[in-house]
């Protein structure tokens, strides 16, 4: 895809080895909601973070509680880059299709 679809994001860090990755993603999404007043729909994670103990990840990532979780080599382990990608009217796995780039936007 051309251009970055995610304009605002929140970088969350959690290195607690006792916590499931899915819980870390949910906590990052909750913090995003608290900070921006909107629910994120995309989360980029390090390739080392996937696979989650859910559906096998593919090029489209996996879905977790309305979030599309994608891996990116630009995200360090134990970091979770959550934000909002553009939602189209198309459906993907019963959820609105989220248009995101293969990589998150650059950190500023």
The number of distinct structural domains making up the chain is 1
Give domain status of residue 85, yes or no. yes
| pLDDT confidence of residue 103 | 55
Task: For residue 91, give both structure tokens.
Answer: 């459906």
Report d(CA 97, CA 93) in Å as an integer: 8
- What's the domain range around 19? 9-99
Average pLDDT for the chain: 78
Residues 46, 71: contact at Cβ < 8 Å?
yes
In a domain, residue 89? The reply is yes
Cα distances from 38 to residues 29, 35, 83, 88, in angstroms, run: 10, 8, 9, 17
**pLDDT band for position 5 (cuts 50, 70, 90):** low
Structure tokens at 62: 């996996």
Peptide bond into 51 cis (omega under 30): yes
Tens of pLDDT along 71-89?
A: 888 999 999 999 998 765 5
Question: Has residue 38 been placed in a domain?
Answer: yes
pLDDT (0 to 100) of residue 35: 96
Cβ atoms within 10 Å, residue 54: 13
Can you tell me the distance from the alpha carbon of 85 to that of 8, in angstroms, rounded to the nearest whole number? 9
- pLDDT band per the 50, 70, 90 thresholds, residue 64: confident
């Amino acid at each position: 895809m051309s251009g970055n679809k995610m304009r605002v994001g929140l970088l969350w860090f959690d290195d607690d080895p006792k916590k499931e990755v899915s819980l870390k993603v949910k906590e990052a999404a909750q913090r995003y909601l608290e900070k921006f007043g909107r629910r994120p729909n995309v989360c980029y994670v390090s390739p080392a973070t996937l696979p989650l103990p859910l559906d096998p990840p593919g090029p489209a990532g996996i879905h977790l509680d309305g979030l599309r979780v994608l891996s990116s080599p630009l995200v360090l382990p134990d970091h979770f880059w959550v934000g909002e990608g553009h939602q189209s009217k198309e459906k993907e796995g019963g959820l609105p299709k989220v248009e995101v780039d293969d990589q998150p936007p650059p950190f500023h």
